[in-house]
Amino acid sequence: MGATKTEHFTDQQNQIATIAKALGHPARIAIIEYLMKVNECICGDIVNELPLAQPTVSQHLKELKNAGIIKGSIEGNSICYCIDEKTIDILNTYFLKIIKTVSKAKCC
């Protein structure tokens, strides 16, 4: 096998997993942190910032974009990327729910 059985799980479970998975790589976390620092994004600078080749960075950006974590808009011959608040909000709301549930539970 090797393929995730997404069809067995709910849309929400798949959605949360997809977002979390996209954040499950230190390079992509580093990209998010860089975007937080510079706010308005300077796309090519990410390549200079990270110890990874340009195609690799481009691929990571694509995954973050596919997961809805960042969005990019064309500006001349470069592309401006920035964090998509909506998606982070979805994740945040979800984890807050977990925290709330777990904090009032007694555990083994």
Applying CB under 7 A, the residues found at the interface with DNA are 1-5, 21, 24-25, 27, 43-44, 47, 52-56, 58-63, 72, 74, 76-79
Q: 31: closest CA among 67, 3, 75? A: 67
**Residues 35/41, Cβ–Cβ less than 8 Å:** yes
DSSP 32-70: HHHHHHHSS--HHHHHHHSSS-HHHHHHHHHHHHHTTSE
- The answer to the question of residue 48 lying near its own copies (CB under 8 A) is no
**Residues 106/31, Cβ–Cβ less than 8 Å:** no
Joined together, the tokens standing for residue 8 give 């067995």
Least separation in angstroms between residue 44's CB and its own copies is: 14
- The answer to the question of residue 3 lying near its own copies (CB under 8 A) is no
- The answer to the question of residue 80 lying near its own copies (CB under 8 A) is yes
- The answer to the question of residue 47 lying near its own copies (CB under 8 A) is no
Which residues contact its own copies (rule: CB under 8 A)? 4-6, 8-10, 13-14, 16-18, 20-30, 32-33, 36, 39-41, 50-52, 71, 73, 75, 80-83, 85, 88-89, 91-92, 95-96, 98-99, 101-103, 105-108
